[in-house]
A = this chain, B = another copy of it.
Amino acid sequence: MATEQGTADELARTLRDAILRLNRRVRQTRAVGELTFSQLSALTSLQLAGALTPRELADVERVQPPTMTKIVGKLEERGLVVRTPHPTDGRQVILAPTEQGREMYAQFEKVRNEWLAEQLAGLSDSERDVLLRAAQIMQQVARA
């Protein structure tokens, strides 16, 4: 429909701009030594799932397998994740957070969240509600 398409076009522009800028802004809040955005996201997914293969994790994170190899490599270097052989399938590998990974996760995640949470705390209830609903819609769109 012409109207809906027009609105959708406009909205797409605005939304792209908004997520580009907010992404940049949030990334800037990372202190040296902290986990990056992508590393933290991968670790989060592993925490939630308990354990995943690289392929599964790549799918969840919407990234190609070689990209995930790199990200997991960084996490492994820091002792936050372990690779163990798959019990029956020799090709596969099981990725799981270590005890240290679980511990560090909580604190890193908190620090990483701080700046944005502060900004959001300064908004009104209804603004936060809009953001929450929008976030859910965006996650759903990203899955498509």
Contacts and interface: CB of A to CB of B under 8 A. Distances in A.
A119 interface: yes
Interface hub of A21, A63, A133 (most chain B Cβ within 10 A): A21
A137 interface: yes
A49 interface: no
Contacts of A8: 117-118, 120-121, 128
Contact of A62 (B25, B37, B116): B25
Contact of A21 (B17, B24, B139): B139
A107 interface: no
Q: How large is the interface on A (under 10, 10 to 19, 20 to 34, 35 or more residues)?
A: 35 or more
Given A24-B63, A62-B25, A133-B130, A138 B12 contact: no
Interface SS of A by simple majority: helix
A18 interface: yes
Contact of A18 (B14, B20, B112, B135): B135
Interface of A: 1, 4-5, 7-9, 11-26, 28, 37-38, 41, 44, 61-63, 109, 112-113, 116-121, 123, 125, 127-128, 130-139, 141-144
13 contacts: A4-B125, A9-B117, A11-B117, A11-B128, A13-B109, A15-B132, A22-B141, A22-B142, A25-B142, A28-B62, A123-B141, A130-B134, A134-B134
